[in-house]
Structure 1
């Protein structure tokens, strides 16, 4: 827990600084797209991740690789921010900074993130219905769904928004029935 607090002390100011830069340059949405793309690359490429995060790799080498990977697809201000992270030896916090920035962008746009776990793949209509339900529950203007499947749920969905969990799964219903039965004895 102490480690998470220390990481937050580094991540939050940098994410906030990136948001300030994005707002000053009127590029909040562009930076959010860049941050999402960079997170996807970090997740998909273990080699890229280990190279960029390795403290033994020289800063100039990291900068060259970042410039090559980002190329023309990334905004110049955003790229300059990444290079600053390398100079300040904060590039190891890149995941957290990007995630923090995206969270700030969601807050700015009144968008909530809902983690949805379903027993099977959802149709577009089901996703839209879940998004509408989350909008009503939270008062948000828009909803981003992070959908995963888990056959152990048997049926239904579990929706998590922040610290709130709405369990409409068959497994959850069976567990509640079991608890009721055990409690009535």
Structure 2
């Protein structure tokens, strides 16, 4: 499944780069993703009993203000019976666009919600740490970590939580007696 989504994403990304309109593609793919996020629309486009011409007409109406090349991608995925992989394709395209721009994405867990200043400081620190110009953060709160930050950037895990530091201290004390 992911291989097909990846092929479409790669082709779309190369085309967007070649035409030098990555921003427009991202905006229009987001709009298409919103339309296709409706289970009724997706079901209609994936239904084998509905003629392709009817589906393509529907896409044309639902996505009339989306760039023709983006619409053609949706048309192609529909005709090839791959439209259910659109969300995967869109996610992969966004990751490729971020990579191209030097942007990394991070999942950040904190014990309490972040304010803007702290969020910005964490994003800047992570960007320096992973060698990127910018880090976009998606955040969640987990009181179990007690304090600090746990961040996942790509396949790197940065654990600066108080819970982990306390565990390390406890383990260290258990290993050797303190005089």
**TM-score, normalised on structure 2?**
0.82
Instruction: Return the alpha-carbon distance in structure 2 between the equivalents of residues 119 and 77 of structure 1.
Output: 44
2:74 corresponds to 1:63 = no
Picking from 126, 136, 145, the partner of 2:118 is 126
> Which residue of 4, 8, 11 corresponds with 1:14?
8
| 8 Å CA contact 1:51, 1:57 repeated in 2 | no
Q: 1:113 to 1:152 in 2, by over 3 A?
A: same
Q: In the alignment, which of 153, 156, 170 is matched to residue 161 of structure 1?
A: 153
Query: Does structure 2 retain, via aligned residues, the 8 Å contact 1:35–1:102?
Result: no
Offset at residue 51 of structure 1 (A): 4.5
Q: Is the 8 A contact 2:150 2:161 kept in 1?
A: yes
Partner of residue 103, structure 2: 111
Give the alignment partner of residue 100 of structure 1, picking from 85, 92, 96: 92
Tell me how many residue pairs correspond in the alignment: 176
- Tell me what 1:27 maps to: 21
Separation in structure 1 between the aligned mates of residue 13 and residue 27 of structure 2, nearest angstrom: 13
CA contact (8 A) 2:42 2:83 kept: no
Per-residue deviation, 1:181? 4.8
Structure 2 unaligned residues grouped into runs of 5+: none
Cα 1:179–1:70, aligned 2, differ >3 Å: closer, same or farther?
farther
* Alpha-carbon displacement from aligned partner over 1:78-133 (angstroms, at most 9, x marks no partner): 11111111111111211111111111111111111111122222111111101110
* 2:110/2:142 contact within 8 Å kept: yes
Q: Residues 20 and 181 from structure 1, CA distance in 2 versus in 1: closer, same or farther, beyond 3 angstroms?
A: same
Computing the radius of gyration from Cα coordinates, the structure with the larger value is: 2
